[in-house]
């Protein structure tokens, strides 16, 4: 997910994350996982996801551990 700089800080990203989590719950999902980057530019995204309840996890699916990837999950 990416929010253009002019729109940052207005809660748009958090609203999108909250909406997606709500849809997952409505559909009966038990877990939601995501992959993001590790660099400083991704720090706001990692903070957003952590604030929404996601926790660091191991790679999932076909993902492989690299220095550029960070994985998070949330049990619903």
**Contacting residues for 61 by C-beta, under 8 A, at least 6 apart:** 33
What pLDDT is attached to residue 3?
83
What pLDDT is attached to residue 5?
85
Domains and CATH numbers, the chain: 20-75 (3.40.630.30)
Residue recorded with tokens 């550029």: 68
CA distance 44 to 9: 10
Render pLDDT for 49-65 as a digit per residue (tens, 0 to 9).
999 999 999 999 999 99
**Other CB atoms within 10 Å distance of the CB of residue 32:** 20
Render pLDDT for 1-49 as a digit per residue (tens, 0 to 9).
788 888 888 999 999 999 999 999 999 999 999 999 999 999 999 999 9
């Amino acid at each position: 997910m990416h929010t253009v700089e002019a729109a940052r800080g207005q809660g748009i990203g958090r609203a999108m994350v909250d909406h997606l989590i709500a849809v997952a719950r409505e559909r009966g999902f038990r877990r939601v996982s995501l992959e993001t980057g590790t660099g400083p530019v991704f720090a706001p995204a990692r903070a957003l996801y952590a604030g929404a309840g996601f926790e660091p996890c191991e790679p999932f699916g076909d993902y492989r551990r690299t220095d550029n990837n960070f994985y998070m999950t949330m049990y619903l």
